[in-house]
Amino acid sequence: MSNTATIKDQIKKLVDIQTMDLEIYRLKSELKEKPIEVEGLKAEFEAKKTGLKVLEDKLKALMLKQKEYEGDLKVKEEAITKADGHLSQLKTNKEYSAKLLEIESIKADKSMAEEKILIGFDQMDEARKAMEAEKVVVANYERDFQSKKKVIDDILALADDQLKVKQSQRDRLTPDVRPDILSRYDRLVQNKDGLGIVPVKNQTCQGCYMHLTEQAMNKIKINEELMSCDMCARILYFEEEL
């Protein structure tokens, strides 16, 4: 077999391998990028859960405050009852008047406590409505997240299976390529986004679209050696010559 035929044969095999490598590159990118997409969706869902937790905590704080107001009201009511009980025991008008003033003051405080309780009920009602509405939003987000995650998980499982198949197919092709040529090609695939060998069309490299000289075109055409693009370093070939 002549050297020209040997180089031409090696290029044909590289082109076949390149077909596999483009698919392998795509599948690996998908396996890398899809989990990031899931993390983004999860972050959105967790943010919604955090918002719900804030509303839940706000309602709990209002309920605790309401208990304080109710406790204060009970103290005021007991104080009024106790003061009322003392009225009959007082002997002078001065003492009686002072006690009445004390009772009126306690009743004023009681009215303030009752007002706070009424306001608290309104605040709790608003907080509870906001919390329940947000629960619906979070539940919808969770369903949406789980649905999208399942789709992505299925895509990842399929991509993983396809990758194994493509890698196996590639492994059956590589023994037919000279080690030095395969090593050169593999480095290009690694560093050039999965594309190590590209055709020439209209006197242009289809990897970086640099215009090629006539001298370079002639060298590629005679297939005496592997020719690379001066710009992107990818191996070049003519599809019509294979």
Which pLDDT score is estimated for 148?
96
> Phi then psi for 236, rounded to 5 degrees?
-110, 150
Report yes or no: 191 and 183 within 8 Å, Cβ to Cβ. Answer: no
Kindly report, residue by residue over 159-171, the tens digit of the pLDDT: 999 999 999 999 9
What is the identity of the amino acid at 116?
K
Going by C-alpha positions, the residue among 209, 215, 198, 214 that lies closest to residue 231 is: 209
Using the Cα atoms of residue 216, residue 220, residue 224 and residue 228 in order, give the sign of their dihedral.
positive
What's the CA gap between 50 and 46, in Å, rounded? 6
Which pLDDT score is estimated for 31?
97
Does the pTM surpass 0.85? The reply is: no
**Helices 3-87 and 179-191: crossing angle, nearest 10°?**
30
What's the CA gap between 98 and 41, in Å, rounded? 69
Q: Look at the block and give the residue holding tokens 């949406």.
A: 144
Which pLDDT score is estimated for 1?
37
What is the identity of the amino acid at 237?
Y
What's the CA gap between 227 and 242, in Å, rounded? 15
Residues of the chain with pLDDT under 70: 1-5
Q: Which domains does the chain have, with CATH numbers?
A: 32-171 (1.10.287)
Pairing of strands 197-201, 227-228: unpaired
Pairing of strands 235-237, 197-201: parallel
